[in-house]
Amino acid sequence: GQQVMQIPQYQHVQEGEDFTTYCNSSTTLSNIQWYKQRPGGHPVFLIQLVKSGEVKKQKRLTFQFGEAKKNSSLHITATQTTDVGTYFCAGQEGGATNKLIFGTGTLLAVQP
């Protein structure tokens, strides 16, 4: 079945450093979504990318969808302590169920 892998599993940065997490799907996706889960919290939707090669920005966050619609990345510029949490990509298959498969997640720790 479809698998969505993320690297790295864990990243520890100093506040002010940049951070990137990469997401790879075993199959072509209709769209990809990104979620953030704070420690002890629930996943919260950040953004959805639909078009091949799409790039979207939210303040210090930059999201990219690959040309082949099988990979994606999230880049955070100048991390802050409020960025701490686990970042999940989630790939949506096409078809009748439009199942959303979550990636393995990247835990970001930011040291002040």
Partner 1 sequence: DTAVSQTPKYLVTQMGNDKSIKCEQNLGHDTMYWYKQDSKKFLKIMFSYNNKELIINETVPNRFSPKSPDKAHLNLHINSLELGDSAVYFCASSYSNSPLHFGNGTRLTVT
Residues interacting with partner 1, by CB under 8 A? 31, 33, 35, 37, 41-45, 48, 86, 88, 90, 92, 96-102, 104-105, 107
Phi and psi, residue 111, nearest 5°? -95, 125
Q: Is the Cβ of residue 77 or residue 84 nearer to partner 1 in the bound state?
A: 84
The whole-angstrom distance between residue 2's C-alpha and the CA centroid of its chain comes to 17
d(CA 5, CA 29): 13
Least gap, CB of 86 to partner 1 (angstroms): 6
Q: Is the Cβ of residue 19 or residue 88 nearer to partner 1 in the bound state?
A: 88
Least gap, CB of 32 to partner 1 (angstroms): 11
Least gap, CB of 95 to partner 1 (angstroms): 11
Q: Is the Cβ of residue 28 or residue 77 nearer to partner 1 in the bound state?
A: 28
Phi and psi, residue 98, nearest 5°? 50, 45
DSSP class per residue in 13-74: EETT--EEEEEEESS--SEEEEEEE-TTS--EEEEEE-STT-EEEETTEEEEE-TTSSEEEE
Q: Is the Cβ of residue 101 or residue 109 nearer to partner 1 in the bound state?
A: 101
Least gap, CB of 16 to partner 1 (angstroms): 26
